[in-house]
Amino acid sequence: MSELLQKLSECVEFGKGNKAAPYPPQMRGEDGADEIAKQLLETGVPPQQILTLGLMPGMERIGIKFRENKVFVPQVLMSAKAMNTAMSHLKPFFLSGEAKQKGTVIIGTVEGDLHDIGKNLVAMMVEGNGYKVVDLGVDVKSDQFVNSLKENPGAFVGLSALLTTTMPSMEKITKAVKEAVPGAKVAVGGAPVTQEFCNKIGADIYSRDPQGLVEFLNAMV
């Protein structure tokens, strides 16, 4: 069983979705995340273990490689795709409450900003590391974040901005969220965002990559 879990983590790390997938070339013809996740469930391995001992270690390894510039956006997207394929078999168990997730993260690209590639990547990595993600999309306004936070008490909020002109929205949203839900934690990120800006607007954490956010969340739960 541990061998299969190890294999599953490699499928996520190297982006092997299913047996038919030609990528990556060194795993051609082998079972992928799809087949292995099914096999593990059929042999009675709890979904929680498949997530924490199979999928998450693979996602963590790709997150670290991405931070170290050893892999790039396309490889991370392939990993996220493999992860999602496996998750489609596990989701019914999580939705039924049979298996637990570590927490909830509400994420969105701030008002006025339509860039979502980085935000989607962060969402995938966070989900891949065992959190429920509520993705509010792009051009998200303060009241949408506040309403979602009220619907998901205790959730963590993640804001993404790619335009210098939308950074003020980040400040507006951070203030609104903290005013409406005292104690709420807000993470900020995106190419123009800096630690200094994070401090200035009173957000709780800035990270230049998804892995930094995952590590912060893991330390909090």
- For position 207 contacting ligand B12 by CB under 6 A, the verdict is yes
x/- letters, 70..109, toward ligand B12 (CB under 6 A): ---x------------------------------------
Window contacting ligand B12 (CB under 6 A); options: 33-41, 92-100, 175-183, 208-216: 208-216
Question: To the nearest whole angstrom, how small is the minimum distance from the Cβ of residue 218 to ligand B12?
Answer: 14
| Helix residue ranges per DSSP H, the chain | 2-14, 33-42, 47-49, 56-67, 73-95, 117-128, 142-151, 167-180, 195-201, 210-220
Rounded distance, CA 89 to CA 66, Å?
26
- For position 209 contacting ligand B12 by CB under 6 A, the verdict is yes
- For position 190 contacting ligand B12 by CB under 6 A, the verdict is yes
Q: Is the peptide bond before 24 cis (omega within 30 degrees of 0)?
A: yes
- For position 114 contacting ligand B12 by CB under 6 A, the verdict is yes
Contacts of 76 (CB under 8 A, 6+ apart): 62, 63, 66, 121, 124, 125
Q: Which of 19, 61, 65, 115 binds ligand B12 (CB under 6 A)?
A: 115
Binding site for ligand B12 (CB under 6 A): 73, 112-119, 121-122, 158-160, 162-165, 187-192, 207-210, 213
